[in-house]
Amino acid sequence: MRFDILTLFPGMFSGPFDESIIKRAKDKQLIDISMHNIRDWAVDRHQTADDSPYGGGAGMVMKAEPLAACIESVKAQSPSSTVLLTSPHGRRLTHDIAAEYACRPGLIIVCGRYEGIDERIRSLYVEDDISLGDFVLSGGEIAAMAIVDSVARLIPGVLGSSESAESDSFSDGLLEYPHYTRPPEFNGITVPDALLSGHHELIRKWRRKESLRKTKVLRPDLLAKAPLTREDHRMLADIEREATGGL
């Protein structure tokens, strides 16, 4: 899959994309990531990519001309790619959205900056706006990193094991179950017996119940829309009884 990132600060990506899973995915040629400095498409000698807003006000706005030229150039190289804008106006990034984009041939991610982009760019080129949440970042570069990471890990072969992605939090609408590793006892806390039993069905049921428990405590809003089975509802009833002392 191809990722093209349009930014005023391409140097911000050199560390995150040169380590861990993303680096391995690039080395295996499962993904291709290209950086495009928007200033390279500016026409003046100062490579101006922003200007003051019409109507006055604080801050600067990313100019239409260099950004449009950059998008058109990249789109010509990858016409089937989807143009995204990192923006507080956008849909909040979720696992389902990442899975949706993992099926696309490519993404062109425009990193917003300053007060935003000239609105005509959104009207003419942007196919989707994506936000990480209701908070403010200095720019869209961090959001672009999150988009690439969340999408890339869902591409077959990137994680090396399909089970890893399938059991991640949110993959089935719930938070993931707790994890333990050696030693079996640490500071007086022992690993749950089910995980030491070697009994696959017992382990499966323990993990599912603890996934439901964690979701109920930390993100009860997810339970309302999660695809729950009859077994899940029985487990939730057990969890409720345990929380009330068996009453």
Q: Tell me which residues are annotated as active site.
A: 88, 115, 153, 168
Q: Where does 68-151 show beta strands of DSSP type E?
A: 82-92, 106-111, 128-131
Which candidate, 65, 68, 6, 5, places its Cα nearest to that of 31? 5
Radius of gyration of the chain (CA): 23
Q: How far apart are CA 107 and CA 84, in angstroms?
A: 7
| Tokens encoding 218 | 């930390």
H or E segment at 235?
helix 230-243
Q: How far apart are CA 59 and CA 6, in angstroms?
A: 20
The HSE-up count of residue 225 (CA atoms within 13 Å, CB side) is 7
- Helix axis angle, 95-102 to 141-152, nearest 10°: 70
Q: How far apart are CA 24 and CA 157, in angstroms?
A: 10
Counting Cβ atoms within 10 Å, is residue 171 exposed (0-12), middle (13-18) or buried (19+)? middle
